Structure 1
Amino acid sequence: MKTTNISESQVKSLIQIAVQKHQSRQKDEAEALDKTEVAEILQLAVQQQRGNRLVEAELLYSQVLEKQPDHPEALYSLGMLAQQMGQPQTAEQWLSAASQIQPDSVKTWFSLGNLRLVQEQFSEAEKAYRQALVLAPNSLPIYNNLGYALQQQGLFEEAINYYQKALELKPDSIETEANLGNALHAQGKLSSNQQMHYAQLNNKLGVARKKALDLKNAVTCYKQAIALQPDLLEAHYNLGLALQEQGEFEEAIASYKKILELNANYGEFYLNVGKIYQQQNQMQKAVSAYQQGLKLINSHYAKALAANEDAEIPQQVPVTPTIPQGEVIVGQYSFPTIPTVADDTDKRPFWSVVVTVYNRTDYLLECLASVLAQWPGEEQMEIIVMDDASTTPVFELVNSIGKGIIHYYRNPQNLGLPGNWNAGVALTRGHWVHLLHDDDYILPGFYSRLQESLEGCSDSVGAAFTGYQNINEKGKVIFSQQVYGQRGIAQNWLQNIGLANSLIMPAVVIRREAHEQLGVYHPELIYTSDWEVYKRIASVYDWWYEPETLACYREHANNVTTELLLSGKQMISIRRAIEISESYLSTEDSAQITAQSRIYYFLYCLKLTLIPLQAGNMAGVWQALEEALKIDRSPEAVAKLFSWLTLQEAAPLRDEIASRIISLPL
């Protein structure tokens, strides 16, 4: 077989020429576009950013700059996006460019000041704030932040002057008043009563900063509160939490121990120390701490534990019982179904909590403790742990913290994630089902808030969800997500969830009757079976929204999602979930929702292709690109693919394409 004589460098040159022609064609097209079309792309980018879809927002802002390289709003937004993604140097470049294009933009100068303030570049931050102040001489945030930049440089009198000007504009500004108090305290100008007042303000401000994921400034606020009032228990606790999230375990324990000196029965101390021992893999100490904390904060748990203390531990690990198999047809697809509950309705608990686990116990205690802390007794909640035939011992760990409370089952053989979910749901007896992964957990108030709402809602509500946080392996909050809006039935929810999955499983509860009617999780969909279920239920039932942040989803290297991303198989599940739901959505909804979802996930797949590419997994790269084009192979999608290939990050793929071309036969 004869091969081509074209060298690899010639192939790369030809590809570059093709890319340049494509770019030139794009430029000609961009010049023909009017402002309305650019505005539409920008508006979509803003929507994606607000929905925390940062990857998609970045691509859309870049499209705006391809058409208008000096577009100030796109430059500014990319700067804010880079800062949000933890890329301060890139953010500085974008914002500086925006300030040169539009030097009269108050928000650009102010954002530059904020960026530099976070980097502790106080002198440079001061310069940016003064530029903003010239443009907006009556702005409280500018006065406040300029005062803080000056205070950090030891210029207290000037800082106090700006704080006072800010308070003239808004006398009830907590942040400004706390900053003023701290500046006065540094000069020794506060009475004892004033110190207590400003300590409370600093603690309150720290809570706000932590909620905004600004742990560094939260720690500063808590320490300032303690400096003003050393016996402020709440500040010590909050400081311990913040330090723990930052991985400063010894400092965190020191803060927690200070709490015990102030209040020996502070149960949260033990729960948080349990997390630290868990992260240090000292499981016996973790169990002891969790037990002590749970007994102090939950009387139901304390009574149950005491009653079961002398109970004999089963000699044999409980095996998952045989579950009747069934199926239900929805649209053009069949789904596994579950049997109805035979018991009298009055005897059924309100909640069934199912925790699934397979060969991973690193975070299991924390997950179970978060549920047990809210356990209202067996009449109201059953807790089930589904062990999917782990080779790692799980039963003893579960029993050590949930003896007599948690029902443990071990599958005789591995069922896979959707299969294990389905087995767990089939075993439930409660009216509402909550699924948890072993590495996730819930925050205080999850069950009580939802039960209060769901007990009074109509039968049309088939599922509910709350606000949530994504956390890393150390428990540090990566971001918080308020998915919908106001508390109540989510309007137009099918259109929202139909476009893309904006939910995490720990934040969702599902009415058992909805599963009985519509089935459970499709065994084929490893990655997106939850999203497909959400769409299936939303096509028939209303969804309730509880806006408070009450659930946590953990991101770490040792999870199924990471494995699927590296192999490119995640995209197969995405495509199949779109195809399956297309068959059962109503005629008026199906075309629009499916088309929008294909466009969205094509861009999503392109961006995520960089993950296997950076890992050197070319098989995963080709799998991802193949699925992306199966999701959307329109001319617009192909044009976006060409544009994506010009990115610096895609250089290894361009080289791979060149290598494959020169090996082709004549």
Structure 2
Amino acid sequence: MAINQVEGNILQEEGHWEEAIASYYQALKLNPQNWEIYNRLGQVYQAQNQITETISVYRQGLTLLNPHYAKAVAAYQNAAITQEMLVTPPIPQGEVTVGDYEFPAIPPVTESEKPRPFWTVVIPVYNRTNYLLECLASVLVQWPGAEQMEILVIDNASTPPLFDLVNSIGRGVIRYYRNQENIGVLPNHNVGISLSRGQWIHILHDDDCVLPGFYNRLQQSLQGCPDSIGAAFGNFEYFNEKGTVVEKGEVISWFGDDKGIPQNFLQAIGVTCPLQVPAVVIRRVTHEQLGGYYPHLVCASEWELYKRIAVSYNWWYEPESFARYRIHSHRLTDDDLSSGILATSIRQGIEISKSYLPVEHRADITIQACSYNFNYCLTRAAIPLKSGNVAGALRMLQEILKLDRSPQALAKLFAWLTQDEVAPVREEIIAKLLSVPVDNIPTELQPPQTAIAP
């Protein structure tokens, strides 16, 4: 990495925007083919809300580095076409039964003479714009042409519409649809899947991104793979609001360095989910067979989907880190933790998968999942208290007691309640207990009786 680029990275991390910009432009003079520098410049301009400059630097880098993009944009401009905002067309409604549950059906692709692309990238959006251009650019820089990839942005009735922002760098390449009303997060994902024509589908959230090589590397492995493979994943990196990588994902520690079909994947994914959405791709026929995202799960919905797929299909694993999952203050996951909803969804997801897990593994996987996620939620139950949300903490405790009421679990719960930082929730529990007749107190909430020698 060039000295100017390193200096730019440090200055960007420290918030010295103008100095960082100067360093990055010096680095570009030495290496104008370096996409990471264009991306960093885009991040700095975006952080200052200089949208015109952000768009300009991304378009400059994309045009220089991706001839497919440059050709498509030039052809669009020369044709003098006025692109109109597309309204999301009606989606055929249906259901697919897996286990004891009904999941939204994904209609098959209508046969046509036009060849299907290998990839469909679906980017669901709603109102957020802080990282959208970076997300779009990360796909566009490796767009291999319309014959190989279609990119769909599904706007869930943002106010104002994100049409102009998307078209500022995607005109001529990206197809933008806008729902006439907000249909919810997961139904919006399913709309994108239903509108797709690609053989493989990649859901990419607007605050995440992929690195150059993501699609090419996966396509090399998946092209011509056996029908038994229904989905694929790779390792990923966590990065922050400034675009700095803070740690590697957990996948590599679970599955090692050897690419291919991981052994005992169902037993692993059945207990918890080490994957993140930007690092996962799913074959479209898999969705046609098993349905889309279950809309009644407020969060952790991808975990349920991955389990559903693992019951019927093998997964393919690429150990490289070509995707990035952003950690920032506006993540939906943070709100889910604070309200306690995440614990509820985890419990519900375990109940759903219990109905379709193979009989020979069902009990073992379910018990392990309940125990693991009891501990996972308990270690995060203090998070709502940081924002003064005692009700959210109580909800999490109520949910984890539905997961695991073993003596070992209850001992951990009582030990957790002795901590000073959780005094508010402890006092709330005591107040509730004092207002209930002793005979009506649930057994699991009664303290253990200690025999006193006469």
Under a length normalisation based on structure 1, what TM-score does the superposition of the two structures give? 0.63
Separation of aligned partners in 1, 2:3 and 2:265: 40
1:571-590 → structure 2 map (5 Å cutoff): 571-590=343-362
Partner of 1:407: 175
SS at match of 1:468: strand
Alignment partners' CA distance in 2, 1:529 and 1:602:
18
2:17 corresponds, among 213, 228, 249, to 249
Q: In structure 2, which of residues 337, 342, 350 is the aligned counterpart of residue 570 of structure 1? A: 342
Contact 2:250–2:274 (Cα < 8 Å) also in 1: no
CA-CA distance at 1:470 after TM superposition:
1.2
Of residues 615-624 and 597-606 in structure 1, the stretch that sits farther from structure 2 once superposed is 615-624
1:613-657 deviation per Cα after TM superposition (whole angstroms, max 9, x unaligned)? 221112211211111111112222212111111122222222223
For 1:523-602, what aligned pairs fall within 5 Å after superposition? 523-602=295-374
Matches within 5 A, 1:477-556: 477-481=245-249, 483=251, 484-485=255-256, 486-556=258-328
The answer to whether 1:604 aligns with 2:369 is: no
Deviation at 1:500, TM superposition (A): 0.3
Q: Is the 8 A contact 1:482 1:547 kept in 2?
A: no
> What residue is the counterpart of 2:83 in the other structure?
314
Distance 1:562 1:469 in 2: 18
Higher relative contact order (CA 8 A, sep 6+): 2
Q: Which moved more, 1:394-403 or 1:564-573?
A: 564-573
Equivalent position of 2:238 in the other structure: 470
The structure-2 alpha-carbon separation of the partners of 1:538 and 1:286, relative to structure 1 and needing over 3 Å to count, comes to same
Asked whether the equivalents of residues 482 and 549 of structure 1 are also in contact (C-alpha less than 8 Å), the reply is no
Q: Please name the residue that 1:275 is paired with.
A: 43
Q: Output one character per residue of 1:417-450: Cα deviation in whole Å (capped at 9) or x when no partner.
A: 1111000000000000000111110011100000
Tell me the alpha carbon deviations over residues 113-133 of structure 1, each in whole angstroms, 9 at most, x when there is no partner: xxxxxxxxxxxxxxxxxxxxx
Report Cα offsets for 1:123-158 as digits up to 9, x if no partner.
xxxxxxxxxxxxxxxxxxxxxxxxxxxxxxxxxxxx
Pair 1:437-2:213 in alignment? no
Q: What does 1:449-468 correspond to in 2, within 5 Å? A: 449-468=217-236
CA separation in 2, counterparts of 1:631 and 1:472? 32
What is the rounded CA distance, in whole Å, between the counterparts of 1:592 and 1:245 in structure 2? 46
Measure the CA separation in 2 of the matches of 1:590 and 1:289: 52
In 2, Cα distance between equivalents of 1:265 and 1:596: 49
Distance 2:402 2:168 in 1: 49
Deviates more, 1:650-659 or 1:463-472: 650-659
- The CA deviation string for residues 176-209 of structure 1, in whole angstroms up to 9 with x for no partner, is xxxxxxxxxxxxxxxxxxxxxxxxxxx6xxxxxx
Contact 1:470 1:555 in 2 (8 A): yes
**Is 1:384 paired with 2:156?**
no
Q: 1:421 aligns with which of 176, 189, 193?
A: 189
Q: SS of the residue aligned with 2:86?
A: coil
Shift of 1:268: 4.3
Match of 1:647 among 403, 411, 419: 419
Aligned residue number for residue 618 of structure 1: 390
Q: Tell me, yes or no, if the aligned pair for 2:202 and 2:281 is still in contact at 8 Å.
A: yes
**C-alpha distance in 1 between matches for 2:336 and 2:94:** 29
Shift in CA distance, 264/513, structure 1 to aligned 2, threshold 3 Å: closer
Q: How many percent identity over aligned positions? A: 56
Greater C-alpha Rg? 1
Change (3 A) 1:584 1:245: farther
Structure 2 residue aligned with 1:660: 432
* Offset, 1:239: 4.2
1:366 aligned to 130, 134, 138, which one? 134
Counterpart of 1:328 in 2: which secondary structure?
A: strand
Counterpart residue identity of residue 418, structure 2:
T
Q: Who is 1:355 aligned against? A: 123
| Closer/same/farther in 2, CA of residues 520 and 261 from structure 1, 3 Å limit | closer
CA displacement at 1:392 relative to structure 2: 3.2
- How far apart, CA to CA, are the structure 1 residues paired with 2:215 and 2:260? 16
User: What letter matches 2:166 in structure 1?
Assistant: V
**Deviates further, 624-633 or 530-539:** 624-633
Question: What are the within-5 Å matches in structure 2 for residues 85-484 of structure 1?
Answer: 234-241=2-9, 243-245=11-13, 247-263=15-31, 268-310=36-78, 311-315=80-84, 317-344=85-112, 347-481=115-249, 483=251, 484=255
Contact 1:337 1:518 in 2 (8 A): yes
Q: Cα gap change, 1:467/1:263 in structure 2, threshold over 3 Å: closer, same or farther?
A: closer
Q: TM-score, normalized by length of structure 2?
A: 0.91
Secondary structure in 2 matching 1:429: coil
Indicate conservation of the 8 Å contact 1:355/1:438, yes or no: yes
CA distance in 1, matches of 2:90, 2:292: 17
Report if aligned partners of 2:266, 2:307 keep a CA contact under 8 Å in 1: yes
Q: Cα deviation per residue 1:257-305 (whole Å; 9 max; x = unaligned)?
A: 2223434565543332112111211111100110001011101011111
Separation in 1 of the partners of 2:90 and 2:366?
A: 38
Structure 2: give runs of 5+ residues left out of the alignment.
439-454
Q: How many residues align?
A: 433
CA shift, 1:558, in A, is 1.4
If each structure's strand is expressed as a fraction of its own residues, which one has the higher value? 2
* Unaligned residue ranges in structure 1 (runs of 5+): 1-202, 204-233
1:355 deviates by: 0.2
In 2, the alpha carbon distance for the partners of 1:612 and 1:268 equals 37
Structure 2: which amino acid aligns with 1:436? L
- Most deviating of 260-269 and 456-465: 260-269
Distance 2:140 2:307 in 1: 30
CA contact (8 A) 2:153 2:176 kept: yes
Is the Cα contact below 8 Å between 2:236 and 2:322 reproduced in 1?
yes
Mapped contact 2:236–2:325 kept (Cα < 8 A): yes
SS of 1:464's equivalent? strand
Q: How does 1:60-99 map to 2 (within 5 A)?
A: none
| Residue equivalent to 2:450 | none
- Aligned CA distance change for structure 1 residues 246 and 345 (closer, same or farther; 3 Å): farther
Where 2:68 maps in the other structure, the secondary structure is: helix
Q: Of Structure 1 and Structure 2, which has the larger fraction of its residues in helix?
A: 1
